[in-house]
Structure 1
């Protein structure tokens, strides 16, 4: 196996090249050193593929290799290219590694950060050396961060610039005058570091918080940044900087000697550090560049390289990411422990620092019997109390919640060492369960307290079913967080709705949350709804069984237990119906009501659904989803109040006709006669008015086609209407034009008037899931429609060309599925297509259906990350359902065929 170069090999290279003089020396030397660096990458790659690779050790070997390369270059430059047999004192210099390179650990494509340190102002000879050195490194295709400063300038800059000060904190000598470097380092310690601890700690903590915010604010994001994300390497580096600055530690191992970390805590610190470095090295080598984000498309490859294979139902990539999130959790634990130690230390030296660290003012009263405040944090009076009274393990979190005080790191360490005390006896303890229910239903602070319990390992031990989903990643684009973090955020979102923080965005949920029968029911259902993820069976069914077992344990009545179990069993029902069914179809409402039964359950389900979707991740919720849920709620509520859905629609249609006749007397007769009854039962008054204007526009201009559009920012949707001569494939061409315009159809209604015109209404969104408020973009869409109808663009070819550009969804495999349903509607056959989302999917589906002589009446399109579910309501050429078995098989096979061809990149 190839190894890194040893001193003998370096000597041979020097002998080979140093006989040359001047610029020719570097020209011959640089390519060989560049090859040496490439070989070092190859060696790291080989060693990473061995069993149990140590990423930190390999990162250090890379730094050592870079030291050798730089030393060889500087020898060549100072001894041969720019010879200076008798250098003056002013021409002394030290090449100092700073930043990550100074830490003596590098990833393959890390920056090489160096400081050329001089005793005084730079000399002409020194300038030549620096210039030659930098050009040589650049010729090696290295990214170099460099500075040239005298010792005095270095001190001044370190005082005024926090970034420079941090980089110098871990500086080390690579080449040159050792005495110059040591003297500068002593001055830094004495004149800068020793007098600015408070300022440094404050700045670094603030910088860390801002960095976390930039990278998503959670250590459980499913595409984490291994370097700068929460729980990543930068957090570990920050902790060590703070310890080094304030406690005088030189190596991480010193944290044990300083009694900051126990040996067990240090082992977790070290294990997380080495694992994260291993991931980072794999990431750089897989990408062939400096990449720090562990994105979806690279996760399976890294998982495979690191030996994570499928185990049971958990895929290898999910096992790898679970290990990643557990490492990030350990980093969070170290953060709390070290910050508390810094506070204790600085309280002795400078009490003002206490205000800068994440803690509270010292409290004098005891929080409860058996507990005490230590520097504003809650601790156990005696460690032995959790042995004699294990209920205190849960109680300390409730006290932390009530007093809004952190739990002391020593107490957290004690809990980590005694998790075995959380046994079946404690799980059945009445008071412990009462305390947990209070924690869960505290609308002000439930989310943070649940997260603290989770990160302490207590939540998963107290609720073993929760423990099974801790750090569980679902490998898809839809879920932005791990399963456990999603549940915690969902409870937090429910609490925010209850506190009235989302009245504008969620007016209905905000109104209904105060009219629920039991707060315990909604909070527990919210907490349990995804707790059975990752099992062989449907997680909704398995979750309902967990609810039936856990709710009585927490003190809920039999009736409330039944409601919680029902909500968990049906927590996806309202979202699925709203997004995947035609809400104007009376059968849709009747079927939904037959499952929900009561207004009380309907209220619970609406609130649960809104909070669940909001907690999936940023950008998942939009106003259109809210509108669909409100429509479904209102229709179901009316039906439960005794209003027959079909009769309700008939009355609505009659009202629509009357209102229209009053508003538009000049066109009422023609427009009323243009439409069949189904039109009036389907369209709302605003859309009908838009259609009337469309008819006027077409008639007055004498054109064959007319467009109209309206954006609705609250609902996050743009209504796009077209009136033209009807012909087969019109809807398909419309959807193709929408796709080419970079927009998405989320709902559609297709009508043919009595005089043979096509009146199609599409509800569309931009790539962010929002309304299109750019008039020029709508104009481009109208032109795209005209081009597609007049044959100016060949839609299959153009879409195939556009699909060559890779998208995020390409990283996932989604099994295509097609089902036909004749039970969900009394008048139509429903065709539901599930497939990986891609450009022009609805166009392909609708084109197949046209070829099968089917008429599309409406379409509902829902996207869940990389997965799209398109539901189309169709009838045959005679306006009837498709009931012939042979015909149904042929439709299904044709759809699956085009989905497979497009998945393979073929033009259908």
Structure 2
């Protein structure tokens, strides 16, 4: 058995604590580090000794405490049982009293598989596997531990968490710059996923805004690694290949911007491949499904994207992202490209293409069919979980040439069809749409242009919101 520091011993497969915690306040961390390193539990007698005699860490922490604390976090999965044993014994909160309100706290979102405290430990363990990606592994691990700490307190968990991180960073001995980095990691821990899911990554303004928030490539690398660790610790649907690709694309564009190389490929150049341009030259409706992408080319008429989305919903294909482009012609043609979630069973692309063609041409009773499908196949998750309130927001400043309409509502069959149909009926051209699904909720983001240009008036926004809310309430009945 490897040698252990003074005051500790391995007996009967457990780590015993023979030293006096009252005389040596960081003995608890030396014991925790050794227990994780040797993959042995802390003995019951040792935990009882700590519970009886361990003093609270002061302000500032004792000398050497921060380095040992980070070393414990760096043990990754092997640290989880050790920390939970210390917490069960009432010792962990003597080091980090802000932890207490998060103990065994359930998450508000069904997206999460762990309680708040276990999620934080899982995020640290995941981050520990990625420390070679960043210049400051210690800040990555501390950021992972603190990023959701505010969930145990009243108010917005990010704002509360920033205040907690500022106090903990200073107390444990970080200088002002490092403490600021911890605070910013908490502040922006949702930035990359929210932006990747809900914004046009090929809009220069999107990239510039994220670049302004991150500031340096070094911080961007920290944030990107924390984001992946956070998502992987959330649950299996929070970090898929699709999400990894979105976030990776965003991070790449932002890094290029930060180093002065911000030549983004335009949406038109991405959509109009040689194959799509060949489809457009035929001047009739064509549908091609391959992999997880459905491409629809049709004469440019209002509602094409909405009707195509309705046909995909009838075929059980959930849309992750939709992009639209209209050519001036002649003839004027509309291109809609959908990225979908493939079901467990093989997709009959010929039937999908036939339904989309019929829908685009007005040959399917989409509303009636979607209502019937929703009645027969109402999702179990929506039945089991509380219905979230619907919200509609507008942003006229965050896009280069469009207004952003964001709808947060209950997920149900045909929701994208209904939303896009309503937006079209309100005189809007939909440039792109991004769909984020979280358990029984969706956040659908649309880049739209109105009849008078990209900026919607306040009056038009009010009418659009009224129409969307009415349509959503009707669709959920």
Q: TM-score, normalised by structure 1?
A: 0.49
Per the TM alignment, residue 731 of structure 1 is displaced from its structure 2 partner at its CA by: 0.9
Contact 1:732–1:846, Cα closer than 8 Å, also in 2: yes
Matched, 1:837 2:417: no
Query: Which residue number in structure 2 is paired with residue 377 of structure 1?
Result: 14
Query: Which residue number in structure 1 is paired with residue 349 of structure 2?
Result: 778
Matched, 1:894 2:467: yes
Query: Which residue number in structure 2 is paired with residue 874 of structure 1?
Result: 448
Per the TM alignment, residue 424 of structure 1 is displaced from its structure 2 partner at its CA by: 4.8
Structure with bigger helix share is 1
Aligned CA distance change for structure 1 residues 738 and 445 (closer, same or farther; 3 Å): same
Per the TM alignment, residue 471 of structure 1 is displaced from its structure 2 partner at its CA by: 0.4
User: SS at 1:533's partner residue?
Assistant: helix
- Post-superposition Cα deviations, 1:606-654, rounded to whole Å, max 9, x if no partner, equal 11111111110123211111111121112111211223x4xx24xx56x
Contact 1:575–1:609, Cα closer than 8 Å, also in 2: yes
Contact 2:286–2:357, Cα closer than 8 Å, also in 1: no
Per the TM alignment, residue 413 of structure 1 is displaced from its structure 2 partner at its CA by: 4.4
Contact 1:446–1:491, Cα closer than 8 Å, also in 2: no
Query: Which residue number in structure 2 is paired with residue 614 of structure 1?
Result: 232
Contact 1:694–1:708, Cα closer than 8 Å, also in 2: no
Query: Which residue number in structure 1 is paired with residue 215 of structure 2?
Result: 597
- Greater shift, 422-431 or 489-498, is seen at 422-431
Contact 1:437–1:554, Cα closer than 8 Å, also in 2: no
Query: Which residue number in structure 1 is paired with residue 110 of structure 2?
Result: 477
Query: Which residue number in structure 1 is paired with residue 39 of structure 2?
Result: 404
Contact 1:599–1:637, Cα closer than 8 Å, also in 2: yes
Contact 2:314–2:370, Cα closer than 8 Å, also in 1: yes
- Post-superposition Cα deviations, 1:351-396, rounded to whole Å, max 9, x if no partner, equal xxxxxxxxxxxx5x762322222212111237xx334444333332
Query: Which residue number in structure 2 is paired with residue 801 of structure 1?
Result: 372
Query: Which residue number in structure 1 is paired with residue 332 of structure 2?
Result: 756
Alignment of 1:512-527 (within 5 A): 513-514=132-133, 516-527=134-145
Aligned CA distance change for structure 1 residues 369 and 472 (closer, same or farther; 3 Å): same
Contact 1:751–1:758, Cα closer than 8 Å, also in 2: yes
Contact 1:460–1:468, Cα closer than 8 Å, also in 2: no
Query: Which residue number in structure 1 is paired with residue 290 of structure 2?
Result: 710
* Shift >6 Å, 4+ stretches: none
Alpha-carbon separation, structure 1, partners of 2:105 and 2:349: 42
Alpha-carbon separation, structure 2, partners of 1:477 and 1:853: 36
Which ranges in structure 1 are unaligned for 5 or more consecutive residues?
1-362, 499-512, 654-677, 712-717
Contact 2:143–2:185, Cα closer than 8 Å, also in 1: yes
Query: Which residue number in structure 1 is paired with residue 176 of structure 2?
Result: 558
Alignment of 1:43-192 (within 5 A): none
Matched, 1:367 2:4: yes
- Post-superposition Cα deviations, 1:299-353, rounded to whole Å, max 9, x if no partner, equal xxxxxxxxxxxxxxxxxxxxxxxxxxxxxxxxxxxxxxxxxxxxxxxxxxxxxxx
Per the TM alignment, residue 406 of structure 1 is displaced from its structure 2 partner at its CA by: 2.0
- Post-superposition Cα deviations, 1:857-888, rounded to whole Å, max 9, x if no partner, equal 1001111222211110111235x124322111
Q: TM-score, normalised by structure 2?
A: 0.92
Query: Which residue number in structure 2 is paired with residue 188 of structure 1?
Result: none
Matched, 1:585 2:203: yes
User: SS at 1:619's partner residue?
Assistant: coil
Alpha-carbon separation, structure 2, partners of 1:860 and 1:579: 6
Alpha-carbon separation, structure 2, partners of 1:641 and 1:431: 37
Aligned CA distance change for structure 1 residues 552 and 427 (closer, same or farther; 3 Å): closer
Matched, 1:689 2:274: yes
Alpha-carbon separation, structure 2, partners of 1:454 and 1:797: 55
Contact 1:441–1:523, Cα closer than 8 Å, also in 2: yes
Contact 1:378–1:405, Cα closer than 8 Å, also in 2: yes
Per the TM alignment, residue 415 of structure 1 is displaced from its structure 2 partner at its CA by: 4.2
Alpha-carbon separation, structure 2, partners of 1:600 and 1:528: 19
Per the TM alignment, residue 583 of structure 1 is displaced from its structure 2 partner at its CA by: 0.7
Matched, 1:854 2:425: no
Aligned CA distance change for structure 1 residues 425 and 874 (closer, same or farther; 3 Å): closer
Alignment of 1:489-508 (within 5 A): 489-498=122-131
- Greater shift, 574-583 or 471-480, is seen at 471-480
Per the TM alignment, residue 827 of structure 1 is displaced from its structure 2 partner at its CA by: 1.0
Alignment of 1:654-669 (within 5 A): none
Matched, 1:679 2:255: no
Alpha-carbon separation, structure 1, partners of 2:427 and 2:58: 66
> What root-mean-square deviation, in Å, do the aligned CA atoms of Structure 1 and Structure 2 show?
2.4
User: SS at 2:21's partner residue?
Assistant: helix
Q: How many residue pairs align between the two structures?
A: 472
User: SS at 1:861's partner residue?
Assistant: strand
- Post-superposition Cα deviations, 1:144-164, rounded to whole Å, max 9, x if no partner, equal xxxxxxxxxxxxxxxxxxxxx
User: SS at 2:129's partner residue?
Assistant: helix
Contact 1:378–1:406, Cα closer than 8 Å, also in 2: yes
Matched, 1:865 2:439: yes
Per the TM alignment, residue 434 of structure 1 is displaced from its structure 2 partner at its CA by: 3.5
Alpha-carbon separation, structure 2, partners of 1:545 and 1:732: 44
Aligned CA distance change for structure 1 residues 777 and 521 (closer, same or farther; 3 Å): same
Aligned CA distance change for structure 1 residues 638 and 536 (closer, same or farther; 3 Å): same
Q: 1:725 aligns with which of 299, 304, 320?
A: 299
Alpha-carbon separation, structure 1, partners of 2:379 and 2:256: 46
Query: Which residue number in structure 2 is paired with residue 248 of structure 1?
Result: none
Alignment of 1:218-297 (within 5 A): none
User: SS at 1:386's partner residue?
Assistant: coil
Alpha-carbon separation, structure 1, partners of 2:98 and 2:351: 53
User: SS at 2:279's partner residue?
Assistant: helix
User: SS at 2:321's partner residue?
Assistant: strand
Query: Which residue number in structure 2 is paired with residue 570 of structure 1?
Result: 188
